[in-house]
Chain A
Amino acid sequence: MSNAQKSPSRKQPNRGASGHRITRADRLKRWMARHRYEARDALTRLLQMPASALMTLSMLAVALAVPGFLLTLLINFEQLTPTTELKPQLAVYLKPATDAKRVDQISREMLLRDDLLSVELISPDTGAADFRERSELGGLLELFETNPLPAVILLVPRDEDPASLQTMQQSLFAIEEVDTVELDIEWLVRLAAILNSFERISVILSLLLALTVLLVVANTIRTMIGNRLEEIEVSLLMGATSRWVRRPFLYAGLWYGLFGALLSIVLIYLALILVESPLREMTELYLGAFELQGLGFQGVVSVLALGSVLGWGGAYLAVSRQLTQFEPQ
């Protein structure tokens, strides 16, 4: 076949399109109309089978609510623990008998250690001055002949994990002049460690549940495809593209994800109401006033977006798997 014969009909492969000119704006308008139609159609179909759809939606809601709830708790806990005050501090009390020279020497030796971020010496004199200034009982000191306050060295160690703090506490005890070593914010360090593992568990759990959402939607869409196989096959025979065939199912997946996420937000708020008062009692005991934060605007938007994306993705997986069976051999 010569090229001269080829060109005219290639320009007009679809005879039905003759006398039917399509501008780009027209095409965009039709494309958008098509999408609007598919979105509405998918929504109607979802609403038409409330029993099975509701079952799927509840599964999605639970799977999305758990990570959303954990995320909210995490945000709340993080707001509880201002970072600078969390730095664990060791207070080293020296024996009162230690003379000023030796005290000076000990604190200078500590300055040289590179496992400490800061070393602050509070000599008995400074301590006494501080005490007089801050306390109404300052006058008490006058009752003593000599200054009864010990020298104290405040240390901020570089390593914050509980194990190395404990080792450091032990090693400081070993110094002969040391009376006691107080690690009075130990519990905060522990809290940080607990929060840390809580965060990790939340992340793993969230990933697993996101996968669950993906699979639940994919499975629902797979059933839906099974019910519409004839329509898919006929459309493909008439020249529908895979994009065309996929579209209604992608919208169905999107709606499932979005509605599942909406329901999950309700669940998250219900759960927050349940934990609010015990949580407040516990935290007020240790940290003072505490106001439980909800998901917030950003959180709500994130959960909705996550649900929609996972729904869309699950549907995409399901349709793509099915479409391969219609390819010509």
Chain B
Amino acid sequence: MSAIRFSQVSKRYPNGHDALRTVDFELDSGEMAFLTGHSGAGKSTLLKLLTLVERPSRGEVWVGDQNLATMDRRRIPGYRQSLGVVYQNHRLLSDRTVFQNIALPLQIAGYSDDDIGRRVRAALDRVGLLSAESANPLALSGGEQQRIGIARAIVHKPRLLIADEPTGNLDPRLSLDIMQLFEQFNRIGTTVLIATHDVALIKRMKHRVLILDKGRMRHV
């Protein structure tokens, strides 16, 4: 079964701008793919449809067996709890420790405190930052912050991992590190979709590439 299926998806913003025009594509379960295209091509818009921050104007967006275009509002929280999302500016909360940041999705999903402790440390271990547990995110380097953001996205073992420009603020070496981290999660079965500008990096990685051009999907 495909993990993600876009069927004739268009998105027109309230101001009349067409960000996506009849986009069709499928991503298999366990696949890893890059989403690229010029600035304003619609990459973030496409990911926002997947996180249900936006709804499509036309067409269907399927994630697993759920059609996001018509999903009831009350089911959005449950759906979002099943996703892992990484942001370009990592969006860590600066009024709490690294541990508390990573614990947040687990608390929201209702895990017990013991469980949370174990899972947060396991996630920190996976991104190689076990010692940063009680640090404030502001005290970490850009690359470390992004790793914490990734730890937070994978702490609940999501089936689907989405990232919007996860390496946008990092130098090439750190970017490669981060991408290899995503590859690790993909190797254990997680479906991964990453939006990025970084063509050089994409070429090194040998994964499927989806290209958006003025809101249309170019199939390669």
Chain A residues at the B interface, C-beta cutoff of 8 Å: 1, 5-6, 9-10, 13-18, 20, 22, 26-27, 30, 33-34, 230-231, 234-241, 244, 327-329
Contact = CB atoms under 8 A, between A and B. Distances in A.
A328 to B, nearest CB: 5
Contacts of A20: 111, 115
Nearest to A16: B156
A240 to B, nearest CB: 5
B17 to A, nearest CB: 13
B16 interface: no
Contact of B64 (A9, A234, A328): A9
A16 B53 contact: no
Interface stretch (B71-79, B127-135, B176-184, B199-207): B71-79
Interface in B47-77: 51-55, 62, 64-65, 73, 76-77
A329 B14 CA distance: 9
B62 A239 contact: no
Contacts of B93: 230-231, 234
Contacts of A240: 77, 108
A15 B79 contact: no
Interface string B23-37: 000000000000000
A230 B54 contact: no
Contacts of B138: none
B112 interface: yes
A305 B82 CA distance: 40
Contact of A329 (B54, B106, B155): B54
Interface string B150-164: 000001111100000
B54 A14 contact: no
Contact of A15 (B55, B104, B107, B157): B157
A1 B62 contact: yes
Contacts of A237: 51, 53, 80, 85, 91
A240 B81 CA distance: 8
Contacts of A231: 93, 95
Given A328-B53, A329-B54, A238 B158 contact: no
Interface centre among A1, A22, A230 (most CB of B within 10 A): A1
Contact of A9 (B53, B65, B81, B85): B65
